Amino acid sequence: MSEKIEGLFIRSTKIKHNLLIVDLLTLKHGRCSFTFHLNNKKSSSFIFQPFHFIEFSSGINLEKKVNKGNYPALVFPVINIISDVRKTGYAMLLTEIINKLISNQEANPKLYLTIKQMVLYFEHQPFNAVFGVFFIKELLPLFGIQPINNYNSENLCFNIEEGKFTSEEEVPEIGDFPNKAFHLLLGTKIDDVFSLNLSTSNRRLIMGKLLDYMQYHDLINKSKIKSIHILQSIYD
């Protein structure tokens, strides 16, 4: 029996001139793969893009690796994201990170709805490059690795192994990492993120630290995140 399914685009692979296999993070069923036939309309393939939420019908069988999807349509348009190259760059990077983070089929409605809320904010708010590091920061507690925001005069340096701020003596390599800025980011809520200012260098360092933190917990392989270099060339 066919049911309506809502999902976030993760990636697609063209296997014929008119057939795609699309991986989606669905609200009800977690990560799943579906085949979609493309018609001759240009809008058909346009649907399957980063930060697109798609609604479609499928007689889904969770025991199958790939199911058939029919009648795909956007849940809501993301006109500003696709028309602003800076926002498009972030959509590509963060979709790539989601693809690396989510490998199993287990449903996680809280994760899905958190991402959906952030994408809607990103669509309707003026561009702020801080969104990228904020997005990743918001995902961390959903994977059980929320950093402890205990920054103070004694605990000045973020320690990846401890997942919290500790003294300088307990951090092997301090470098130029902006610990105070990272502390401010960790305490920022979504309503305030688009007014938060971080310099380009601080954003880069914080992005690197967040990716290192996820790699430490075996969630991603930082070296395989390819689109970050494209993104840096866009907003720098």
Supply the pLDDT for residue 61. 94
Contacts of 192 (CB under 8 A, 6+ apart): none
Pair 42, 94 in one domain: no
- Quote the tokens at residue 54: 């798609």
Beta strands in the chain (DSSP E): 3-16, 19-26, 30-37, 53-58, 66-68, 70-74, 157-159, 164-166
pLDDT confidence of residue 44: 60
Q: Which residue, 57, 74, 91, sits at the end of a domain?
A: 74
Same domain, 64 and 84: no
Taking only the tens place, the pLDDT of each residue in 149-207 is: 999 999 999 999 999 999 988 776 667 899 999 999 999 999 999 999 999 999 999 99
Q: Choose the final residue of a domain: 74, 101, 135.
A: 74
Asked whether residue 84 falls in the same domain as residue 70, the answer is no
Q: Which helix (H) or strand (E) holds 29?
A: none
Same domain as 200, residue 102: yes
- For 107-126, letters b (16+ CB in 10 Å) and e give bbeebbebbbebbebbbebe
**pLDDT of res. 41:** 60
Residues 69 and 92 in one domain: no
For 46, the domain range is: 3-74
Under-50 pLDDT residues of the chain: none
Residues 20, 115 share a domain: no
Alpha-carbon span 182 to 149, nearest angstrom: 9
Kindly state the tokens that stand for 82. Answer: 């696709």
The residue type found at 206 is: I
Looking at the structure, do residues 160 and 206 belong to the same domain, yes or no?
A: yes
Of 50, 52, 53, 209, the closest CA to residue 145 belongs to 209
* Judgement on whether residues 148 and 218 belong to the same structural domain of the protein: yes
Report the CATH number that the domain containing residue 23 is assigned in CATH. Answer: 2.40.50.140
One domain for residues 224 and 208:
yes
| C-alpha distance from residue 200 to each of 47, 129, 197 (Å) | 32, 8, 10
> How many structural domains is the chain composed of?
2
Kindly state whether residues 89 and 127 are assigned to the same domain: yes
